[in-house]
Homo-oligomer: A and B are copies of this chain.
């Protein structure tokens, strides 16, 4: 019998207002497994010490990575596509629906997140001028046009593309950015799914439990 799917994340991340809990990217994979009804376990690598064993499985020292019956896949987008291959819930099986889902998954990674994450990162410095501001506005406006005309990105129904795009857009600073009402309604719609709440709440609880372990170790 094959091992169940295992989602690897950090053993702990900082808590508190504005902290990463609820946003760490293992949420994407937990959420996908919840939507698809796939059994999974969650295991962790040390947050404080990202050593050779971690780098051998994730060469950029990040998480998550997914273990599936002896195979390890890093990059949350790649792991999501791998999971999509296991369930029609995540990706339709007809050529057109599959192609639409694939293109919007990559759009979330390489057209939206490629701008929003560096924009967000530069914004942490608190400086008034963000050199990526215009690019960010342009990408959100293009996406607003798409979402003003339909509820879901691909195949006229929820797919893994919505899961990923909503996860990119729900980051507070992105979500509250500018006048993009269709985009805001879209994020609400996708994130109101019970599978999202389960995935996020489980992640928050996982890291909260680690607080107690760290305290008793000190």
Contact = CB atoms under 8 A, between A and B. Distances in A.
A155 B125 CA distance: 40
A21 to B, nearest CB: 22
B75 A110 contact: yes
Contacts of A117: 114
A114 B118 contact: yes
A81 B106 CA distance: 10
Nearest to A107: B75
A55 interface: yes
Interface in A128-154: 131-132, 135, 139, 142-143, 145-146
Q: For the complex formed by this chain, how many copies does it contain in all?
A: 2
A137 to B, nearest CB: 13
A22 interface: no
Contact of A60 (B71, B113, B139): B139
A96 interface: yes
Contacts of A107: 59-60, 74-75, 78
Contact of A106 (B99, B109, B119, B142): B109
Interface of A: 55, 59-62, 68, 70-71, 73-75, 77-79, 81-82, 95-96, 99, 102-103, 105-107, 109-111, 113-115, 117-119, 121-122, 125, 131-132, 135, 139, 142-143, 145-146
22 contacts: A55-B142, A59-B142, A59-B143, A59-B146, A60-B139, A68-B99, A73-B103, A74-B103, A75-B106, A75-B107, A75-B110, A78-B99, A78-B103, A79-B103, A81-B102, A106-B109, A109-B109, A109-B114, A114-B117, A118-B132, A122-B131, A125-B131
